[in-house]
Chains A and B, each alone.
Chain A
Amino acid sequence: MSTDARTPIVEMRDIRISFGGVHAVDGVSVSVHAGEVLGLVGGNGAGKSTLMKALSGARPPDGGQILVNGSPVSINNPRDAKNHGIETIYQTLALADNVDAAANVFLGREIVSRFGSLDDAAMESATRKVMARLNPRFRNFKAPVKSLSGGQRQSVAIARAVHFNAKVLIMDEPTAALGPAETAQVRDLVAQLKDEGIGIFLISHDIHDVFDLADRITVMLQGRLVGTVN
């Protein structure tokens, strides 16, 4: 186990999630520190994504406790998670395909004027800034994200997660849909975010990703945690 004596930035204790009679997650405890990457591996149906859904608010847990900076919090919906600085990049990317990059980055957290009307120019400006950092070649700011390439769509999903000063980032199969160049880009980004002190949960099938990037690796099998290696 980790010998890090600091308080973990996020700790999940004894999490239980069941669908009907099936225990998808059965008493799992994991934690991540600031500036640490925790690799989460396991076969299909092992419960990795379900466990992370409890943290992102997509599927509140049936039992267990979540602590942020050592104090227990309740996360009942995605908004709660975001308020605690927990951002998620979903495997499906969860983008609204019919609107542009800025609308997706700010979805649910739009910049509005004094009178409550959307400030699209300010949102586009902020999106251009964050994109200049993540993917400098990104140009299609006016197009619906449906018309973008897989890598560009991934950039939008990542921009949405990192723009709001995330403390914890959940990345669910971030490279599954990407080509080699884009995968390398995501790897660089993970390293960079780690240096900035963000705690990262990295779910991946690509064992190379996990070995290269993760500080610790946790293995799940049939809803249980079967081991953690440094």
Chain B
Amino acid sequence: MADVSGAAPSVAPPAPTPASRSVSSTIRSAEVDTRLLGMVTALIVIWVIFGIGTDGKFLQPQNLWNLSVQTASVAVMATGMVLIIVSRNIDLSVGSMLGVVGMFIALLQQEWIPKAWGFGYDVWWIWIVAVIGGLVLGGLIGLLQGSLVAYVGIPSFVVTLGGLLVWRAVTFMLAQGRTISPLDPTFLLLGGGSRGAVGEMVSWAIGIAVSVAILYALISNRRKRLKFGFPLRPRWAEAVIGIVGVGVVMGAVWVANSYAWPKGLATRYAQEQGITEPPGGLIIPTGIANPVLIALAVAAIMTVLATRRRFGRYVFAIGGNPEAAVLSGINTRRVIMMTFVIMGVLAAVSAVISTARLQSATSGAGVGAELSVIAAAVIGGTSFSGGIGTIPGAVLGALIIQSLVTGMQLLKFDNPSQDVAVGVVLVLAVGLDQVLRKRAG
């Protein structure tokens, strides 16, 4: 087809008028996601209030470190739930999947493999096989449920409600009333704990690497837009985003490194290594916990999948208009099925984290987790009407929920009050979002 006009798109970036620069127009010209900004603000407010209420105890490195570890399991699953809800489905079975996979992993490493081969459970590679087996099981459960939703056409609410019952029942059958422990010591490191962290130097290295990646992404994105002659963010906005991004990353690493090993553990470590303890006691920075690293890696991969790959684009298109997605030639059934497979694998990742953290598998593991996971995704801006949601939002949502729970525990509120707080925040967050979106038109 002949290009009739041949005219290159001439796009002049709108010049910002400093005189009329209000807060909202400043944010707009910086092209920052306002919803994400709102959530960060909410999180800061919650942290400050609990910080004041607990005389600073909430903001101490020890508490923040524990908070990060406790958030990891829900955050991992929430990233998958975003894709499920964005494509207008739901997965109620994630807690039960977590339970059955955790039980499966524990039995594999503690009973089945040792029995089959006839050696002790402390052979070094068993936990690796068990973890891979668990991930495969999670993927297969997701494949089954996803196929029923996508190809048979059973509503996902029904399929996964069935899954919630069935997988929990299977967990009970496998457990036969037992708690499966002890588990492989290396496997337990995946759940956190003072030894289940990467240490000071590696934490700093990771922080620097992520900071460099943030700056590189900002610069390369700007170069690319420049090359095509697109409107650019103002320079000050790029600088602020870069500084804030690097600041948050390095600050988080600093907090993780400020949390030192407990005295007893440090003393034992000193004896093991033959180090003479200094007078004030040996101070070993803990660094970023393994489960937190796993959760961050999952969030990064899922963000790329959701925003930089065809698959993610199709998930959002299906959520926006399923009919249009079909007419565009997208294999919508396969895409839907894959969202459930991913959800299953992520439930298995969470099963690894929580089983390792609790150092045992019980038949009650993950009961009710589906509600926290869905709440995290929804507080994080995922819309039930489909097509809207972000992975970082869901992770922040998980962090907000866990902050509320931890903060209220520190203030000696009982469990029901914590649920009241989470429930109220959930409805408030969605309500506020609706009102703001209606006003924005």
A103, B329: Cβ atoms under 8 Å? Answer: no
Give A69-98 as 1s and 0s: 1 = Cβ < 8 Å from B's Cβ atoms. 000000001110010000010101111111
B329, A79: Cβ atoms under 8 Å? Answer: yes
Number of interface residues of A (CB under 8 A): 43
Q: Assess whether A186 is interfacial by the CB under 8 Å rule.
A: no
A147, B329: Cβ atoms under 8 Å? Answer: no
B313, A103: Cβ atoms under 8 Å? Answer: yes
Partner of B388, one of A98, A166, A192: A98
Q: Assess whether B242 is interfacial by the CB under 8 Å rule.
A: no
Q: Assess whether B7 is interfacial by the CB under 8 Å rule.
A: yes
B321, A97: Cβ atoms under 8 Å? Answer: yes
Segment with Cβ contacts to B, from A19-27, A112-120, A208-216: A112-120
A94, B5: Cβ atoms under 8 Å? Answer: no
Segment with Cβ contacts to A, from B224-232, B256-264, B366-374: B224-232
Number of interface residues of B (CB under 8 A): 39
Partner of B320, one of A56, A98, A110, A196: A98
Please count the residue pairs between chain A and chain B whose beta carbons lie under 8 angstroms apart in the complex: 107
Q: In chain A, what residue has the closest Cβ to B225?
A: A121
A116, B321: Cβ atoms under 8 Å? Answer: no
Q: Give the distance in Å from the alpha carbon of A144 to the alpha carbon of B313 in the complex.
A: 13
A96, B310: Cβ atoms under 8 Å? Answer: no
Q: Assess whether B412 is interfacial by the CB under 8 Å rule.
A: no
B328, A78: Cβ atoms under 8 Å? Answer: yes
B230, A121: Cβ atoms under 8 Å? Answer: yes
Partner of A96, one of B2, B309, B320: B320
Q: Assess whether B420 is interfacial by the CB under 8 Å rule.
A: no
Q: Give the distance in Å from the alpha carbon of A10 to the alpha carbon of B7 in the complex.
A: 32
Q: Assess whether A165 is interfacial by the CB under 8 Å rule.
A: yes
B330, A107: Cβ atoms under 8 Å? Answer: yes
Least Cβ–Cβ distance between A187 and chain B, in angstroms: 16
- Given A107-B330, A118-B310, A132-B7, CB of A96 within 8 Å of CB of B228: no
Q: Assess whether B387 is interfacial by the CB under 8 Å rule.
A: yes
B310, A110: Cβ atoms under 8 Å? Answer: yes
Q: Give the distance in Å from the alpha carbon of A204 to the alpha carbon of B7 in the complex.
A: 32
Chain A residues positioned under 8 Å from B11 (CB to CB): 128
Q: Give the distance in Å from the alpha carbon of A78 to the alpha carbon of B331 in the complex.
A: 10
- Given A92-B323, A98-B387, CB of A121 within 8 Å of CB of B224: yes
A94, B328: Cβ atoms under 8 Å? Answer: yes
Partner of B317, one of A58, A92, A103, A133: A103
B330, A108: Cβ atoms under 8 Å? Answer: yes
Partner of B324, one of A79, A96, A124: A96
What are 12 A-B contacts with C-beta separation under 8 Å? A58-B326, A78-B329, A79-B329, A92-B323, A98-B320, A99-B387, A108-B330, A112-B310, A118-B308, A132-B7, A132-B8, A166-B1
Chain B residues in contact with chain A, CB under 8 A? 1-5, 7-9, 11, 31, 224-225, 227-228, 230, 304, 307-310, 313-314, 316-317, 319-321, 323-330, 386-388, 441
